[in-house]
Each structure stands twice: as C-alpha cells, then as structure tokens.
Amino acid sequence: MEGRPPDDVMLAERAKRGDERAFEELVRMYQGIAFRTAYLLTGSAADAEDAAQTGFVKAWYALPRFRRGAPFRPWLLQIVANEAHNRRRSAGRREALRLRSIAADPPEDAAPSPEGAALGRERRTELLAAVERLGERDRDVLTCRYLLELSEEETAAVLDVRRGTVKSRTARAIARLRSEVTP
C-alpha cells in the first residue's frame, strides 16, 4: 500500500491555489495507485491509462471545489474510479484478472521448492477464480480493500458509499468468498 505522505494535504492546498508544481508532485506520488485502481476495475491497460489520465486532469479543474484540509488521495481515487466505472460500463464487461507468469516472479532467497511454488500458485489461481465469480459489488469491495490495500476511507470514496457500508459489504463478500473456496 502506498503510504500517504504527510505533505499530501499541503501539496493539495498549494495545488488548490493554482500551484502547478504542487500538482505535478501529486501526479508523481499517486499515478501508480491511480493506474492500478483503474486497471483492477476495468481489467484493461488502455482503459486504465485513459481513466487515470482523465481523472488527474479532472482533479486539477475540480481542485477549487476540493475541501480544504481533506486528504487528496481518496478524493483523487474517487474521480479516477468514476472514470474507470464509466469505461467499464461502456465496454459492457470487465476483463478477467490474471496472475503474473511464473517467469516474471522475482527470485527470492527463501524460494519454495518447485512443488511448493506450484501448489501456492494453484491455490492463488483458485482464489482469483473465486473472486472473479463473485458479483460486481462483492468483487469491487474486495479488490479495493485487499488487492489494492486501500483504506476503508479510500474504498468508501472509490465505491461512493459510506464507510459503514464498506465494512458490511466487505464482511458479506468475505463470507461469500469463503463459501466459494471451501465448498
């Protein structure tokens, strides 16, 4: 999870006053999480890039309406997620997510045996398939909370719901997922 640097609020305040340098810093800081959020919501690199880019541009023009002192990241992710949702709706469906290929895995000192790695991969493949079988609402909340490791506040912003709804939706989604992976 990307931490929220302490100067997030300060940079946003400067950007709100029209400081383009401050906004550049915010783009640098959050372009990664903005793209990943959009990608996991759309499943398409092209759509994610477009959504993230448009989201930043819209954020710049909406900054005068940005609440002073509020954290910038959840607000930005909400704008990006809106763009991503629009593209997902236009596409009619979201592309399925995939695991990285084994060859792309970085070597680790404590790498498991080939059998262990295969077993781990098999479990992850099953888990991903189970997540993909969930309804959109369950999948989105699990994507935000666990796959993207967003905070409850950020998840609430991305899904445009209250924090309490994030909690209850997450609990229900986890319960459904558990029933999927442990028949």
Partner 1 sequence: MTELERALVELGHELEIPTSPDLLRPVLSAIESRPKRRLQRRRWTLVVALAALAALAATLAIPDARSALLRFLHIGGERIELVDALPGVTPDPAELDFELALGRATTLEQARRVAGFDLRELEVAPDKVYLGARGTVWFLYGAPDRVRLLVSQTPLHSVDEELLLKKLAGPETSVEHVDVRGTRGVFLSGEPHLLFLLDPRGEIVEDSARLAHDVLVWEEEGIALRLEGDFTKGEAVAVAESLR
Positions in the binding site for partner 1 (CB under 8 A): 16-20, 23-24, 27-28, 31-32, 34-36, 39-40, 45, 48-49, 52-53, 56-57, 60-67, 97-101, 104, 123-124, 127-128, 131, 142, 146-149, 174, 177-178, 181
We find the least distance from the C-beta atom of residue 121 to partner 1, in angstroms, to be 8
Cβ of residue 7: shortest distance to partner 1, in angstroms?
18
Displacement of CA 86 from its chain's centroid (Å) = 15
* Dist. CA 93–CA 44, nearest whole Å: 10
Taking the complex as a whole, how short is the minimal distance between the CB of residue 12 and partner 1, in angstroms? 13
Q: How far apart are CA 158 and CA 55, in angstroms?
A: 12
Q: What's the closest the beta carbon of residue 25 comes to partner 1, in angstroms?
A: 10
Whichever of 41 and 85 has its CB closer to partner 1, that residue is 41
Which structure tokens are listed for 164? Answer: 């309490």
CB proximity list for 164: less than 8 A, separation 6 or greater: none
For partner 1, the closer of residues 67 and 93 by Cβ is 67
As a whole number of angstroms, the distance between CA 150 and CA 118 comes to 29
* C-alpha radius of gyration, the chain, whole number: 18
> Which residue lies nearer to partner 1 by CB, 65 or 93?
65
> Alpha-carbon distance 118 to 113, whole Å?
8
DSSP calls for 170-183: HHHHHHHHHHHH--
> At closest approach, how far in Å is the CB of 56 from partner 1?
4
The CA distance from 129 to 126, in Å, is 5
Q: Please, which residue, 34 or 166, has the CB nearer to partner 1?
A: 34
* Identity of the residue, 85 or 144, whose beta carbon is nearer to partner 1 in the bound complex: 144
